[in-house]
Amino acid sequence: MKLLTLIGGALGAGLAIWLLTRFGLGHVLALLREAGWGIVAVMAVHLVQMLFSALGWHAIVGHARPRPSVRDFVLLRWVREGVNNLLPVAQVGGEFAAVRLLRRRGVSLVQATAGTVCDLTIEMVTQILFTITGLLLLLYLLGRSQVTDEVVGGIGIAVLVGVVFLVSQWFGLARLVETGLMKLAGHFGWQGMDEIKGLHHRLLSLYKSPRQVTLSVVFQSVSWLLGAFEVCLALHYLGHDRSLATGLVIESLGQAVKAAGFVVPGALGVSEGGFVVIGSLFGLPPAVSIALALIKRLREMAFGLPALAAWQWLERRWRPLQGAVLQGPGDTVDPTAQNHPVSPSTLPRETASATARAYGDVS
């Protein structure tokens, strides 16, 4: 997997360099200078996107206790995006980081895993709907051609993968994962894996809550639509205004291309190439499409680098919520306690030691 990532990264970097060389780095930089402080306004839109994505995650988790606050989920979403965008983790490592942080908050492993998988699935389903909307708009605006047929065919494969992932959960994928992990834990003597028991049933119970699912779908859909507005705003500051419908097509298909390029770290080069192809359908010069892609890259770095630092800080500083089940055997937070953060120093010696060991605070 590491070799595949290295190869993908090298090819992606080569493609990005070729695009910049082919279509003029100087021209692209001039466009970015023209956009100026407008780039900051574009970045600000993503803050609202993250909020709606976090609200969708918070909604699907339901009312199980302990339930982290919306603020906690905003922080988790920030970290999750930073890890996925900047580290070579095939765009899914952020979910593992999120599960780990949820456990530090006192959420059980099965609850943290189920909630994160459900959120990832609903995000994928809403992206599929967003992509299909973009494809329909593309055909409506431009009509059918060889280029649109190729775009539809390529995006259709990504949509099919998403559908398979969703359906597989209903037919026992989680149960297979759960059983496999339990067997491995028994074979290698891993501790704490018994917490994963019931993952399949927990997933289905979350999916069978109409109100939670509906809220999550609405919030995630709004987040995707805000991405279309972000594209239109960026194109405005680049001096090439386009309609919201065009922005929706560019964003929906661009995100689908990025998802399809998950093997390449950060979809480097793949995303830029996708914007060039899609932008050309609407008369955007290649340099403008590359500048649009670079604005998104700048936003990923501006948010992602602090997110990675916040991740490390949260790993050290986050403590279980009131009423949380700690990772020490049988230890729980006193439900009569006041609303103060739990610290190992405030617990009995045995409980504090177990908690510290579980969270890596001691060797």
- pLDDT tens-place string over residues 311-344: 999 998 888 876 555 544 333 343 333 333 433 3
Look at residues 216, 230, 208, 226 and name the one whose alpha carbon lies nearest to residue 123: 216
Q: How far apart are CA 341 and CA 151, in angstroms?
A: 52
**Segment of 4-18, 140-154, 194-208, 296-310 carrying the highest mean pLDDT:** 296-310
Q: How far apart are CA 18 and CA 15, in angstroms?
A: 5
Q: Which two tokens stand for residue 68?
A: 């982290």
Ranges 117-126, 177-186, 275-284: which has the least confidence: 177-186
Residue 147's pLDDT band, with cuts at 50, 70 and 90, is low
Please give the full DSSP string across 30-95, using - where no structure is assigned. Answer: HHHHHHTTHHHHHHHHHHHHHHHHHHHHHHHHTT-SS---HHHHHHHHHHHHHHHHHSSSTTTHHH
Better-scored residue on pLDDT, 163 or 258? 258
Q: How does the average pLDDT of the chain come out, rounded?
A: 78
Query: What's the mean pLDDT in 186-201?
Result: 59
Q: How far apart are CA 272 and CA 317, in angstroms?
A: 37
Burial of 3 (0-12, 13-18, 19+ CB in 10 A): exposed
Better-scored residue on pLDDT, 83 or 330? 83
Ranges 101-115, 162-176, 242-256, 299-313: which has the least confidence: 162-176
> What are the structural domain ranges in the chain?
2-318, 326-363
Give the end-to-end CA distance of the chain in Å, rounded to a whole number.
30
Other CB atoms within a 10 A radius of the CB of residue 209 amount to: 16
Q: What is the pLDDT of residue 144?
A: 73
Question: Strand, helix or coil at 101?
Answer: helix
